Structures are given as C-alpha cells and as structure tokens.
Structure 1
Amino acid sequence: MSDFFKNKVVAVTGGSEGIGKALVELLLSKGAKVSTCGRNYDKLYHLQSRFPSYPLHTVAADVSIENDCRHFIHSTIKMMGGIDILINNAGISMKALVQDASTEVMRNVMNVNFFGAAYCTKHALDTIIQRKGVIVGISSIAGYRGLPGRSAYSASKFALQGWLEALRTELLGTGVHVMWVCPGYTTSNIRYAALNEEGNAQGESPLDESGLMSPEECAVHILKAIEKKKRTMVMTFMGKETVFLNKFFPGLTDRLVKRFFFKDGKLIK
C-alpha cells in the first residue's frame, strides 16, 4: 500500500457526511492526520467518536462565513503544525429554474461552493506554500457545462475552476500543486439538501440512487488523483462525454442536455 498520505496533514471541508466523510475515513486508514469541518456538530461528534485514537481534528464551521474558515484553518495549523493538503469539498446544490429561483438561492450556493473554497484556501496558502503541498477543489461537470435547473450551482463551479486555474498559474515554480476533480452523480445527501426556488432543502432526489457511485468509491478515485498529481479529473464516462461534446458540438449538447433534464416542458431532474 502506498504511504503517500502517511503523516501528511490533510484538511477536508464538509467532512461530516457524503464524499467528505468517505475521504476522512480513507485518509485516516492511510495514516494521514486529518482535520475536517461541517455545520452539524452532532455529525462531527459522531465522526470523532468513531475514531477516538486517530489523529482527527473536527471543527464546527460554516464555510460561507470567512471567520469560520479562518478558525478552521488556524486551529488545524495550531493542532497539527501545518497543512500539506487542502481538499475543498464542502458544497451545496440547487434545483430551480432561473425564472423561479430567488436571488438568495444564488447567493447561498455561491457563498458555500465558491467563497468557502476561496476563504479556506486563502487562509491556508502560506502553510501550503511552505510545505509545497496540494490544493484540491471538488468540482462538477457543471463547472464545464451549464446545467438547467442548476444555474447557480454551475456558476459556482465555473468560478471555482477558473479561480483554481488562475491560482495554479500564480504558483508555478513554488512546488505547490493545484487541481480539481469532478465526480459524477454520487449517492450522497447533496441532492436531498439541494435548495429549491425558495431556498429550502428539497428533501428528495430526482435520480434513481441505486446505480450511482458510492462516496467511498469516489474517495478512492480522488485520493489516487491527488497522489498522481493530476491536473484535473473527470470521473465518469457520461461526464467525459459531456465535456467532449460541449467543447466540439455545443449546439448538439444544448439539445441533449435539454432532453435529459426536461420532459413535456417540465424540469424533471
């Protein structure tokens, strides 16, 4: 087994459930020292209680609030001496047409998905540069192709990827590696917690969850990509196909995406 992550300090945002939690658990099994944050104190407490003898640091934090991000990063550095790898995983989705969605929905999604990553990265940057570490953004196919009903989500992921690409260029020659990965549809809470047009959690998934990738499998792919220092990674065939078609056949992709998300003029996914 590779010892790439052994004794490395890895900070993971949104680690109390879904992909983030799977990343935390897999990293601990690989010998990493892990710090994670989430908004739900009870879920963090449960996670901590499952690993009482492991080097795990948990912080209750809302990444949309800069002071919370600052506290998470600074407490991680204080407890563990620095940060080698930052995985900006915390995220929120939405399901609403632009015509129906409130501006609050757009603001909330952008604050979590883009500014949360920007805040944490900014406050961790000095220690990551010092350690020649890795900065990771968990993005989406929605960062390559705007998806109907996910306008704010797409905007936040486009922003995240553009920001990380600019940062990667700024840090060339420093030894820091900047990358992003794009999981496909995963069996996680993100669709149940997705905001509707009024800004409330929709409480249901529009997809058949039975055939989707598990968070645990997704975490394996993400850590392999980090270890190999991939520039970017799109995980699924559908994702790769969408990126390819959108680049070379954008008009066709418009029609295919519309057909996938709509039925009889109504948004179904």
Structure 2
Amino acid sequence: MGRAAFQQKVVVITGGCAGIGRALALRFAQAGAHLAILDIHDESLVAFRQQLHDKLNADVLAINCDVSDDQACAEAMAQVVEHFGGIDLLINNAGITHRSAFADTDLAVFQRIMAVNYFGALNCTRHALPSLLARRGQVIVLSSLSSFAPLLNRSAYNASKHALHGLFETLRMEVREQGVNVMLVSPGFTATDIRKNALVGDGSVAQATTAMPFKVSAPAEVAEAIYRGACRRKRQLILSNVDWQARLIARFFPRLFERWMVPRLSGVKVRSQGE
C-alpha cells in the first residue's frame, strides 16, 4: 500500500506501546500519519515517542490514559483534537485477559475486564465521535477469535469481546450514512504480552503462560493486515486460518466444536475416553 491513504491523517491508538498497538503505531507512522498514542506506562510512552520521532520522523502525541476512566478518555480526545485539529481514525486496541474458571473468578475480575476491554472502547469512541463524524473518519476495534469461538477459562474476556460486537455493529449502522466506517478485527493467536499479564481468579497476575496449540502471528503481520483493511475501509477482518476454521465448525458442528475445538483453542489437553 502507498502512503497516500493516511498521509497527514490523525490516527489515535489505545494501548499503543506494546504488542499489536505498537506495531500499528509503527505501520501508520511509516504511512505518514500523525499519531496519538494512549497508554498507561509513562516510561514506555516517552521512549516509544522518541523512537518514532528519531527513526521515522513521526509527529507523535503521547498521552497517559487509562481507558477505563471516562473522564481521562474525554481529556485525551480533547487533547488530540486541540493538538492536531481532529481525529481521522480511532483504533481501540487496549485490552486485558484472564485465565480462571467462571466459578473461581471474583466479581472484581469481571468488572476490570469489562472496564478495559468494553468500556475503554466505548469511552474513547464516544468522545472521539464528533470529530470522526466531522472528518468522515473510521473506528477500528480489536476483537478476538473468542467473539465467535469461546475459550475455556476466559468467560470475562469472551463476554467483553461479544459485547464489543453488539456495540460496534450497531454503531456501524448508525453512522454509515454520515460517512464513518467501523471495522471489527478478530486476530488469531498473536505474540504479545497479553497472556503474560493475564489475571487469575483473585485478580492477581498469572505466574505462568499456556502454550498455544497453533501458529502464533507476529504483531507486525497483524498490523499490516489491519492497515490494509483500514485503507479499504472494510467492515470486518478475520485474520487467521484458526479463526475461520473455528467459526465454520462452531456454526455447523457445534457439538464437535465444544468437545474438541474449544479445548485445543484454549490450550487445554483433550482427554481420551480411556484416560
């Protein structure tokens, strides 16, 4: 893709210092975009902003923002509009996960996952929307294969991704005639730190990670696919073979899916009848 699609456009990325968010910032900087990166880690924000400036001569606004805080999101979007004049693309990337069975998960964990994954995207979009409407921009939302292929021991995470689809599929229809596009992205397994920072049932951070049973994508691969989707203003992007296989099996062979596919996707060993 050439640089023209996002040259001088203003792109806001939440959770922009690590994983897919970081790769997206690099890709859109290469395309000549002005960037606003939101994250909760001050040192990472400062260092990454300097890297983007030094290596790509990117115009970057770095903002410390907890997306679960509605007032912080309002202030962040106002700061972006004041600095750059408006917003052309909002990428709701910030997210967290957990690994714990429903029965072993404290209510506070459900609330925290929803606060970041669902309300974080809602908060940022609500405050960016007036500018997006004025500039006929677009919203990109990072969902997951779990939005249609639920993972074991991820009930709060799965619920947050389902909620995102309900919200943003409705928003897409409401703003389509006003020139704003909404794209939902469902990546497959990607090599990020989200699993390393997963919560467990009591709200503490997990000390061990589960091995992934499928090929893991690099964040740069996912970012490139999202960039190309944004250039085409697509409405949905499903990014790995695991995703479409899981979706087809879940739809046409639900019992088989629940018995064999869900444990594999979840990194749980499938036991034979003799075990």
Q: Same fold (TM over 0.5)?
A: yes
* Residue 163 of structure 2 is aligned to residue 159 of structure 1: yes
Question: What whole-Å deviation, never above 9, does each CA across 1:141-163 have from its counterpart, x for those lacking one?
Answer: 11112221110000000000110
CA root-mean-square deviation = 1.6
Deviation at 1:231, TM superposition (A): 1.5
Counterpart among 133, 140, 145 of residue 129 in structure 1: 133
Deviation at 1:259, TM superposition (A): 3.6
Question: What whole-Å deviation, never above 9, does each CA across 1:135-183 have from its counterpart, x for those lacking one?
Answer: 1100001111222111000000000011000101111211110111111
Deviation at 1:239, TM superposition (A): 0.7
Counterpart among 113, 117, 126 of residue 121 in structure 2: 117
Q: Where does 1:1-269 land on structure 2 (aligned, <5 Å)?
A: 1-2=1-2, 3-52=4-53, 53-208=57-212, 211-260=215-264, 261=266, 262-263=268-269
Deviation at 1:51, TM superposition (A): 2.6
Question: What whole-Å deviation, never above 9, does each CA across 1:110-140 have from its counterpart, x for those lacking one?
Answer: 0000000000000000100111101110000
Query: In 2, Cα distance between the equivalents of 1:6 and 1:248?
Result: 43
- Higher mean alpha-carbon deviation, 233-242 vs 246-255, is at 246-255
Query: In 2, Cα distance between the equivalents of 1:74 and 1:235?
Result: 32
Cα distance change on mapping 1:257 and 1:101 into 2, 3 Å: farther
Whichever residue aligns with residue 31 of structure 2, its letter is K
Deviation at 1:82, TM superposition (A): 0.3
Deviation at 1:211, TM superposition (A): 4.4
Deviation at 1:69, TM superposition (A): 1.0
Query: In 2, Cα distance between the equivalents of 1:171 and 1:51?
Result: 33
Query: In 1, Cα distance between the equivalents of 2:7 and 2:206?
Result: 39
Query: In 2, Cα distance between the equivalents of 1:11 and 1:257?
Result: 36
Deviation at 1:46, TM superposition (A): 0.8
Question: What whole-Å deviation, never above 9, does each CA across 1:46-95 have from its counterpart, x for those lacking one?
Answer: 10121334210010111111111111111111110000000000000110
Query: In 1, Cα distance between the equivalents of 2:213 and 2:269?
Result: 20
Whichever residue aligns with residue 237 of structure 2, its letter is M
Whichever residue aligns with residue 59 of structure 1, its letter is I
Whichever residue aligns with residue 144 of structure 2, its letter is S
| Percent of paired sites with the same residue | 33
- Higher mean alpha-carbon deviation, 118-127 vs 145-154, is at 145-154
The normalised TM-score by structure 1 is 0.94
Secondary structure class of the residue paired with 1:172: helix
Cα distance change on mapping 1:183 and 1:210 into 2, 3 Å: closer
Question: What whole-Å deviation, never above 9, does each CA across 1:212-263 have from its counterpart, x for those lacking one?
Answer: 1111111001111111121111100011111111122222211123442433
Matched-pair contact (CA < 8 Å) for 1:187–1:209: no
Whichever residue aligns with residue 47 of structure 2, its letter is H
Matched-pair contact (CA < 8 Å) for 2:98–2:200: yes
Matched-pair contact (CA < 8 Å) for 2:136–2:178: yes
Matched-pair contact (CA < 8 Å) for 1:147–1:257: no
Matched-pair contact (CA < 8 Å) for 1:140–1:183: yes
Query: In 2, Cα distance between the equivalents of 1:233 and 1:37?
Result: 23
Matched-pair contact (CA < 8 Å) for 2:189–2:215: no
Cα distance change on mapping 1:176 and 1:252 into 2, 3 Å: same
Structure 2 residue runs without a partner (length 5+): none
Query: In 2, Cα distance between the equivalents of 1:208 and 1:238?
Result: 12
